[in-house]
Amino acid sequence: MAKKSAIENNQRKQRLVKKFAGRRKRLLDTANDEKLTMEERFEARIKLAALPRNGAAVRIRNRCEVTGRPRGYYRKMKMSRIALRELGNKGLIPGLVKSSW
């Protein structure tokens, strides 16, 4: 079996987060509701723990869409500083002006 890339893993996590977002939110609201009994809240926590770990939004990592690099990520451009610099030097990013690289 071929090893999956970090980009593919991250995309799979994003799909799972989207799929389980409503259920996870509903269970969290139930578990944190002080008006409910302790048993109901505990039951919600058990159901929440049964959901897939990768369905949680905190498991998603910001990655460069060009290289897959997780560090030096610019959210506005959705790419790493290295990819941004390379594409900027080639003039492929509109509005990006070279200052002093």
**pLDDT mean values, one per 10 residues, the chain (101 residues):** 80 96 96 94 96 95 92 94 93 85 57
- Residue in the structure block whose two tokens are 């990819």: 83
78 in Cβ contact with 57 (< 8 Å): no
- Tell me the C-alpha distance between 12 and 57, whole Å: 12
Residue 25: its pLDDT value, please? 96
Residue 45: its pLDDT value, please? 96
What is the pTM (predicted TM-score) of this model? 0.76
- Residue in the structure block whose two tokens are 């977002």: 21
